[in-house]
Amino acid sequence: MSASRGTIFRVSDSACIPSAASAVPTTTVTSQHSALVRVTHWITTLCFLALVVSGAEIVISHPRFYWGETGNVLTTPLFKLPIPSSRALVPTGYGYVLPDQNGWSRALHFQSAWVVVLTGLLYVISGLFTGHFRKDLLPAKATLSWRSSWAVIAGHLRFKRPSEAQAWSYNVLQRLAYLFVIFILFPLVIWTGLAMSPAFVSAFPATVILLGGRQSARTLHFFVSLALLLFLLVHVAMVCLAGFRSRMRAMITGQTGVRTERT
């Protein structure tokens, strides 16, 4: 299931604007999403949506965040979310209590976490073997300069549309964003989640000690989740701007819809 086995075409992988293309060397990239990338992408999408919904439900039962080891309604919070709670114990300032949805939320949260972690492992391991990260996501050295990064940003700011061929490769900012999500945010959200498990930390105490305590882990889990949610919103916005139908077709069927040559 190697990405390189599919149809390929030549494009510049530098940036999505013509002016920057001349500044960097032209390389061959594969553009078609392999079946493994497509399947793991959609499983991850489903799991992430389930994790966001169930995670929000869990937060509603105690919409207060703390730093350090312990925290409860008798201690000073780091901050509070201005929302009502599903528990009468929490002083929210609202005169009512929402229905308790924690049972199914927790079950859905952990089951989705299992599926997305196993899916992610499959994606990362196969990506290392097939060269997916090296070929499709690792930015070329020449593009890792302020000049070419700025060219991408400036292009975005001027709302310049990339040429068809350039649009099917990832520019340096996209590559860095994807790598950041895959190798920084996802590991962090898994770590901070596990650090809240009393059984897991009994076997691996360093997971919570390094974060400064269970409440710190919970607060960090919340912010890393927000960062992932922000990525999702930008990602979907960019898909819409780049052409919703063609991008969806590419991620569902693997067909890019541009002129291709058979290998």
Partner 1 sequence: MTVLSRRKLITTGLATAAGISGLGVAASLAERYGLVPPDHGGIYGLGETLTYASQRLLTRHSFAREFSPSQISKRPLENEIAPFGEPFKRLQAGGFADWRLTVDGMVDRPASFSLAQLKSYPSRSQITELSCEEGWTYIAEWIGVPLSQVLDLVGTQPHARYVVYFSIEPDWWESIDMADAMHPQTFLTYGMNGNDLPPGNGGPLRLRLPRQLGYKSVKFITHLTVTDNLKKFGKGLGSASPEGGYAWYAGI
Which residues bind to partner 1, rule: CB under 8 A? Answer: 58-59, 61-62, 64, 69-75, 87-89, 102-104, 106-108, 110-114, 196-203, 205, 208-209, 214-215, 218
Query: What span, in angstroms and rounded, lies between the C-alpha atoms of 243 and 253?
Result: 15
Query: What span, in angstroms and rounded, lies between the C-alpha atoms of 59 and 50?
Result: 14
State which residue, 197 or 260, has the beta carbon closest to partner 1. Answer: 197
Query: What span, in angstroms and rounded, lies between the C-alpha atoms of 66 and 219?
Result: 7
State which residue, 82 or 198, has the beta carbon closest to partner 1. Answer: 198
| Token pair belonging to 157 | 């700011």
State which residue, 19 or 72, has the beta carbon closest to partner 1. Answer: 72
Residue 225 C-beta: closest distance to partner 1, Å: 14
**Residues near 48 by Cβ (< 8 Å), separated by ≥ 6?**
112, 116, 228, 232
State which residue, 102 or 126, has the beta carbon closest to partner 1. Answer: 102
Residue 32 C-beta: closest distance to partner 1, Å: 17
State which residue, 111 or 246, has the beta carbon closest to partner 1. Answer: 111
Beta bridge partners of 30: 8
State which residue, 132 or 221, has the beta carbon closest to partner 1. Answer: 221
| Token pair belonging to 40 | 């793991």
Residue 239: Cβ within 10 Å count: 15
H or E element, residue 9: strand 8-10
**Residues near 110 by Cβ (< 8 Å), separated by ≥ 6?**
none
Residue 122 C-beta: closest distance to partner 1, Å: 13
Amino acid at 5: R
Residue 124 C-beta: closest distance to partner 1, Å: 19
Residue 104 C-beta: closest distance to partner 1, Å: 6
Residue 220 C-beta: closest distance to partner 1, Å: 13
